[in-house]
Structure 1
Amino acid sequence: MNVRRRSSAAALAAIAVIGAAAAPAVAADPSPSTSASTPSTPSGPSGLYGSTDPRFDGVWRQSLALLAQDTAGVIPSSQAVKWLTDQQCDNGAFAPFRADPAQACDAETMVDTNSTAAAVQALSAVGGHGDAVGSALAWLKSVQNKDGGWGYTPGGPSEANSTSVVIGALTATETDPAGVEKDGKSPYDALLASALPCAEDGGAFGYPDQKGKLLANADATAAGVLGALGKGLVTEAGGKTGGATCTDAGEPTREQAAANGAAYLTDALGEDGHLTSALGGSAEQPDYGNTADAVVALAAQGGRDTAAEPLAWLEKNAVQWAEQSGPAAYAQLILAAHATGTDPRAFGGTDLVEKLNATGPAPQGAAAKDTVTTSDKAADEDEKKDDSGFGVWWFVGVCLVLGIGVGFLLSGRNKKRQP
């Protein structure tokens, strides 16, 4: 799932540290923070959400923007959707950003699985782009690793974050991930290989360090929980299963691996109700983006009640962070609100949707609430007279043109930088 969640400069620095294990050649993190970006391409006529440098996260942020809009009932700008589809290469893949989409992709175009899988989910949500979605899915399947998973770039070692976002792309298109195999291995096989034992690592999903050793990581865990459940970047609360317990019992099933990961996140959130991070030797500070990711994962695995504490912390503390960080932060909070059934238009006293929309091209409108016409009511009365017990309800969509903008950019994951 973010706004992923996830600084351009910080991402480049992370590549130097991670080395071969990072896989991506441009940005190891699929969700660079907006705060570290420098103003470049403005939003508006271009159709791109946000005004920060899109070189490392343009497609990712655009995709998440469309998804966040869709969850909030906003019909996105056709210009914004076109910006995304124009970024696709002829082979179906997406790079983080192509300054000149009219120029064909070549061997030097740094396409990646995360941008492509996020675009698949977004275009599937808005609909009407079956050819683009099908081409992107075919490319993803063509670069699947022999262990069944994916790295950030084609041929890179499989890891939980990238494998999970591709699982989300598959399920968004009603493709069963279990049936997408390479050498007899499915994405779930690769994902479970990243699941760490409870006794040593608290049930976390790991992310490979420079030497390829899996280290417990909160962001990889949040992604891994969703992937193991077959969920995408946008999800809703699961059944009320209650708090998760970490259990070591041989090879874990997908469900147990997700429960173990949820137990790890619960412990990591601690009494404060939020995750922390420390970059560049600085003191630990609240990690709003990863906390939002944890809320989504906990809600998906155990129901909204299991995410109540970190959600309450976000509602109390994260709005100011979003105001400083921009559209990515707003969008990430919208996704957390959606996963818990919380109104994003009244999140800590703030209308996140309005704030998000104000950062980019004006949407086409908003999906109207279900409406019953006079003739429908009459038909319903006739049905009642016939003792059928059923009314005839017709739902009509009303497009209310809004003079506000839509925007989104990804922030806060820092997946390789905080345990």
Structure 2
Amino acid sequence: MNVRRRSSAAALAAIAVIGAAAAPAAAADPSSAPSASAPSEPSGLYGTADPRYDGVWRQSLALLAQKTVGVVPSSKAVDWLTGQQCDNGAFAPFRADPSKACDAKTMADTNNTAAAVQALWAVGGRGDVVESALTWLKSVQNKDGGWGYTPGGPSDANSTSLVIGALTVTGTGPEQVRKDGKSPYDALLAFALPCAEDKGSGAFAFQPDEDGKLLANADATAAGVLGALGEGLVTEAGEKTDDAACTDAEKPTREQAAANGAAHLADAVAEDGHLKSALGGSADQPDYGNTADAVVALAAQGGVEKAAEPLAWLEKNAAKWAERSGPAAYAQLIFAAHATGTDPRAFGGTDLVAELNATGPGPQGAEARDTATASDQADEKDEKKDESGFGLWWFVGVCLVLGIGIGFLLSGRNKKRQP
């Protein structure tokens, strides 16, 4: 993630968000965000936290997760997302007044746009919106073939992988989308670390550091594995493979880079069953978001068995995290369940689907009744903790530069559907 603020206050605030629900790969400059107080809950939006920094992100994940488990989202929720699109096809994290045209101050980005593409393609009936968004994404491709968070920003593994997913699920071959002869895969593989590295063997870096060195990052590795496989935000398990081991090659194929990244993730979760995050000398903490990403990446690359240990840890420990974090976290766990063939309605004793449905407008059909019940139960609790994007995901940039990773959802193998 690109860092816009490097103050000690930002670093301290970032500690508070470690392990929160996944947010886009980089964050907009906080100075560009609306200065007004947090808006009231917009009709149709999932979650009750301030949407200024993650409204489109959490909405996209919520809709996509619902469709993944066979729930028909509320038309009001779909309309909310489509209404966020700018005339040029791009999406920003949140537009308080969609009737007002986007201008130079509107912080449109590739991550929210690519996520919205995948969600709206899945729900169907929004082909014009999807096509416009894809056209914009192609127009801001970098000369190395990749994408940064903001148009014109340097390419990074997370943003490039997320756009690869948007291209793939809509039937647009990423290898055919080129700039100056470079494809998205050319850019992505440039972030893969060689196996000879003492730390981070086979991992992906988010971006080169200031000295041009690639540093392993769990967030970018989960993203890179799925991007290299050509996957989107929802995936099923791949074919079972032998235990992965990092294998060097002068120019690794996409498949080999994905296998190397999966081997790195498998080693990282082997000791405790989960990934960890820390900041500025603080004690290691479980990284729920990146662990869920690792489950999806491991399953997609090498089959369900490769993801068994971190999946079991999530089933045992992630319910409270998702309750605190909201729609995006529930969606992330649903993606992990789907990738491993696990029932999301009985995920360690939690019905992830009902809990997700209860964070927004009731879905269409029979699921709406279940949502009403879950919502009534939630109202009886003394206090509903902050949901979704924790209102300040621009601090995530601090975490990524320090090699922490907050958990970025990337998965794949969406079955193609006509919009």
TM range (shorter): 0.7 to 0.9
Q: Which residue of 1 aligns with 2:250?
A: 250
Q: Cα offset for 1:245?
A: 1.4
Q: Which residue of 2 aligns with 1:72?
A: 69
Q: Report if the CA contact (8 A) 1:50-1:359 is conserved.
A: yes
Q: Which residue of 1 aligns with 2:6?
A: none
Q: Which residue of 2 aligns with 1:386?
A: none
Moved more, 148-157 or 243-252: 243-252
Report the aligned-residue RMSD: 2.7
Q: Report if the CA contact (8 A) 1:262-1:297 is conserved.
A: yes
Q: Which residue of 2 aligns with 1:33?
A: none
- Aligned-partner residue type, residue 202 of structure 1: S
Q: Cα offset for 1:61?
A: 0.8
SS of the residue corresponding to residue 161 of structure 1 reads helix
Percent identical across equivalent pairs? 75
1:190 equivalenced with 2:175 (yes/no): no
For residues 193 and 68 of structure 1, do their structure 2 counterparts lie closer, same or farther at Cα, with a shift above 3 Å needed? same
Q: Cα offset for 1:400?
A: 7.5
Q: Cα offset for 1:322?
A: 1.8
Measured against aligned partners, the alpha-carbon deviations of 1:276-308 in whole angstroms (never above 9, x if no partner) come to 001354211110110000000000000111000
Q: Which residue of 2 aligns with 1:239?
A: 239
Q: Report if the CA contact (8 A) 1:48-1:62 is conserved.
A: yes
Measured against aligned partners, the alpha-carbon deviations of 1:154-180 in whole angstroms (never above 9, x if no partner) come to 011111000000000001100000000
Measured against aligned partners, the alpha-carbon deviations of 1:344-383 in whole angstroms (never above 9, x if no partner) come to 000001111111111111111258xxxxxxxxxxxxxxxx
What is the alpha-carbon distance in structure 2 between the residues aligned to residue 11 and residue 226 of structure 1? Answer: 31
Q: Which residue of 2 aligns with 1:203?
A: 202
Q: Cα offset for 1:210?
A: 5.2
Trace 1:280-295 onto structure 2 (pairs within 5 A). Answer: 280-295=280-295
- Aligned-partner residue type, residue 155 of structure 1: G
Measured against aligned partners, the alpha-carbon deviations of 1:175-211 in whole angstroms (never above 9, x if no partner) come to 0000000000000000001111011031000122651
SS of the residue corresponding to residue 293 of structure 1 reads helix
What is the alpha-carbon distance in structure 2 between the residues aligned to residue 66 and residue 417 of structure 1? Answer: 32
What is the alpha-carbon distance in structure 2 between the residues aligned to residue 53 and residue 88 of structure 1? Answer: 19
Trace 1:15-414 onto structure 2 (pairs within 5 A). Answer: 24-26=27-29, 40-41=38-39, 43=41, 46-200=43-197, 201-208=200-207, 211=210, 212-365=212-365, 403=372, 409=388
For residues 409 and 324 of structure 1, do their structure 2 counterparts lie closer, same or farther at Cα, with a shift above 3 Å needed? closer
SS of the residue corresponding to residue 114 of structure 1 reads helix
- Aligned-partner residue type, residue 80 of structure 2: W
For residues 52 and 313 of structure 1, do their structure 2 counterparts lie closer, same or farther at Cα, with a shift above 3 Å needed? same
Moved more, 316-325 or 267-276: 316-325
Q: Report if the CA contact (8 A) 2:51-2:94 is conserved.
A: yes
What is the alpha-carbon distance in structure 2 between the residues aligned to residue 280 and residue 357 of structure 1? Answer: 37
Q: Cα offset for 1:23?
A: 7.0
What is the alpha-carbon distance in structure 2 between the residues aligned to residue 404 and residue 181 of structure 1? Answer: 49
Q: Which residue of 2 aligns with 1:370?
A: none
Query: If the length of structure 2 is used for normalisation, what is the TM-score?
Result: 0.81
What is the alpha-carbon distance in structure 1 between the residues aligned to residue 263 and residue 157 of structure 2? Answer: 17
For residues 11 and 24 of structure 1, do their structure 2 counterparts lie closer, same or farther at Cα, with a shift above 3 Å needed? farther
Unaligned ranges ≥5, structure 2: 1-9, 16-24, 31-36, 379-386, 405-419
Structure showing greater Rg: 1
What is the alpha-carbon distance in structure 2 between the residues aligned to residue 180 and residue 404 of structure 1? Answer: 46
SS of the residue corresponding to residue 286 of structure 2 reads strand
Q: Indicate which of 392, 400, 403 corresponds to 1:418.
A: 403
For residues 404 and 188 of structure 1, do their structure 2 counterparts lie closer, same or farther at Cα, with a shift above 3 Å needed? farther
Q: Cα offset for 1:242?
A: 3.2
